Structure 1
Amino acid sequence: MGTVIGSGTTITFWPDAGIFGATEFSFDGLEERFRELAFLNQGLEISLTDLRRLDESHSVRLHFPGGMRDFVDFLDGHTAAHAPTETIAFEREDPRMAGEMDIAFRWCSCPDERVQSFANSRPTIGGTHMVGFRNGTAAAVTAYAREQGLLTPTDPDIGADRIGAGLTAVVSVKLDHPEFEGSTRGVLGNAEVRDCVEQAVQDHLGRWLNEDPERAAAVIDRIVQGARRD
């Protein structure tokens, strides 16, 4: 074997119609999934080329230097220009959950919630990482609102179900030993992840709120008033 530059693996896959039923690959579907992987793994570059029809071949290159921040921008789309706050993003390793978390989020002026979660780069529909994220966010908002007198002593804490209006977030964890619930394995079940994510989100969001009162007010006032109306 001679000297080579670079290395890699080539995988050739031909689906069996007797097993899969439909064997036509969707370029849009593959592009969507590869885009997720490129967002979730900062620095990763993926090229996708469709050569099934040589006269109509096309390709895309997926590479996002901003990682999770770019993911939040993508989810917001045209509403990003109307975001009252910049993106809050952080990474943290935590030996208690034998893994790391990568989280980015912000609030926009629109009422919709755009939240996605992942475990080991696979999409999830919920689980302990999302419970921890919502609980940590609610705890930080409640603590700041009480410190600033935005909640009266008789007002209840702001619940995790009250912080979603206008929220765009991506919550990703990568674990040595992920545990999933249900037949579709779409719900993360690692109990220790909840507390780790909750603490990290509360710490980071709490600092962010205290660094700039005007910036914090753009988010807190809206959440507090919404909670009182509900």
Structure 2
Amino acid sequence: MPKRYESIADDLRQKIHAGDLAAGARLPAETTLAAEYRTSLPTMRMALGLLQAEGLIEKRHGSGNYVRGAVSLVEYTSDRDIGGAPTVALSAIDAPLETVVSVCEVDAAEDVAALMKVPPGTRLVEYVYRRQRHSEPAPHGLSRSYLIRELMPSTPQLPSTTPSPWSDHLHKQLDAAGFKLDRIEQRLTARPPTVEEARELGIVGVGVSVLAIQRSSIDTEGRTVEASLVVLSGDRAMAVVTTPVVSR
């Protein structure tokens, strides 16, 4: 049997989906809703918190709760065949996304150094990607990818075509430099956003998690030659991982 706050959230959810509560509409005050549903204020706030976590409403400090406008959903997919070329992408399910990418040289921070198994301060090439729908104010995800500068023979270049954060243009650079990949390791974690991540991704609802992804590309000599850190807003992203089954 659903708990009281779950039942209230379900009723409000149906009203949002039916259009009875339109996008951009301000919900009644929490005290008014609590009286309407004959429940306590803490229970009402739990119901609203559930809808915030789902991305259906947003809380604007000093103003109240509002129904969120429609946002496009981004899908993180990882489909690869052992021995074949990896195809990993961030794609929009219901609307096209644009990618803005920049490149610079940085000194490895401790977290990146640990991921790449190099001393902190090692010179790296950093690619920063922002995936965003033109009509939406905040990006769906932020991605930072790293290469070890001294291993790359030429000046870092931006990709010639519009990339996704998981495009193969970095792997092509590694291949051109003579590195052969042995495997790609990925770690996915759902966690609360940091203050900086919430600001960059436009996360305003309490309870909205982020999907954090770490990727390491390891060559045939056991070196981590590329690493990526991706953070996706949990209310606008889903992960899909397909693993081929090989008959034995």
Give the TM-score category using the shorter length.
under 0.3
Q: What TM-score comes out, normalization by structure 1 length?
A: 0.25
Choose between structure 1 and 2: higher helix proportion.
1
Which of the pair is proportionally richer in strand?
A: 2
